[in-house]
Amino acid sequence: MNLKTRVLRVDASASVNTSNSKKLGDALISRMEAIFPGMQVQQRDLNEDISFIDEIWVGANFTPPEERSEMQKNRLEFSDRLIDELRHADHIILTTPMYNFSIPATLKAWIDMICRAGVTFQYSTDGPVGLLKNKRVDIIITTGGVPLQSPADFASNYLEQVFRFIGIEDINIFAADQMSVDADASYQNALDQMAQSYAVNTAA
Ligand SMILES: Cc1cc2nc3c(=O)[nH]c(=O)nc-3n(C[C@H](O)[C@H](O)[C@H](O)COP(=O)(O)O)c2cc1C
């Protein structure tokens, strides 16, 4: 990582001022800023603006760019913007709670907007190939009762799969799971994982 690390922060929790995952995101950003002073952070709050796949979107996506109608181009504009944000970033920080054993619907909608054949992945004779290269993603996940990696966790492996699918191999999960059991211990556990990952000497 270099001193000009460009970070895209994506927040998925519906909670605005009381979100544990967002608070952990703030802590991670503060820690990183101490290590990478030139770091730039762009923020995307999925509760402010999101869009869903519909028939026009699907048709537009499978129409070659030079043949798209104005309506089709307009329909893909939001997806294009989200993908540009990803392309511009060296580093993605995703903060998300577990909702109903998986991820919030807003985050699923974001994933549907950024997984685009021919844009963020393509098919080859060896199967799909991710097209976003040389990026790292830090995923912060909070849960109430479900331990991550337990049979009821349909969030963490899914998110890892999605990022690998679009070419991002450097994937780190900072977990504050089972917060309803011992919130302080769980929160501290995530902070400790961050401290391990971002010790001051990681700047070298
Ligand atoms: C709508 C909703 C669904 C939830 N579903 C689950 C769940 O399936 N499993 C779980 O362990 N916790 C669940 N929780 C608890 C949250 O994951 C937990 O409180 C988390 O810390 C919230 O993070 P946040 O404060 O960043 O929103 C749910 C919370 C909400 C609001």
- Distance between first and last Cα of the chain: 8
Distance between Cα 54 and ligand 1 center (Å): 28
**Backbone torsion region of residue 134, taken as left when φ is above 0, otherwise alpha when ψ lies between -120 and 50, otherwise beta:** left
pLDDT of residue 4: 64
Does residue 20 have its Cβ closer than 6 Å to ligand 1?
A: yes
pLDDT, tens digit (0-9, with 9 covering 90-100), for 81-107: 999 999 999 999 999 999 999 999 999
For residue range 3-47, what is the model confidence (pLDDT) as tens digits? 568 999 999 999 999 999 999 999 999 999 999 888 999 999 999
In short, whether 100's Cβ falls inside 6 Å of ligand 1 is yes
Which among 99, 191, 106 has a CA at the least distance from the CA of 146?
99
Ligand 1 neighbourhood includes 62 CB (under 6 angstroms): no
**Mean pLDDT throughout 109-126?**
95
Residue owning the nearest CA to atom 8 of ligand 1: 100
Q: What is the pLDDT of residue 197?
A: 95
Q: At what angle do helices 105-114 and 70-88 cross, to 10 degrees?
A: 100
Per-residue pLDDT at 202: 52
Q: In the chain, what percentage of residues exceed pLDDT 90?
A: 92
pLDDT at 157 over 80: yes
- At residue 1 the predicted structure's pLDDT band, cuts being 50, 70 and 90, is low
Q: Is 105 helix (H, G, I), strand (E, B) or coil?
A: helix
Q: What is the pLDDT of residue 199?
A: 87
Q: Is 145 in the pocket of ligand 1 (CB under 6 A)?
A: yes
Q: Is the CB of 143 under 6 A from ligand 1?
A: yes
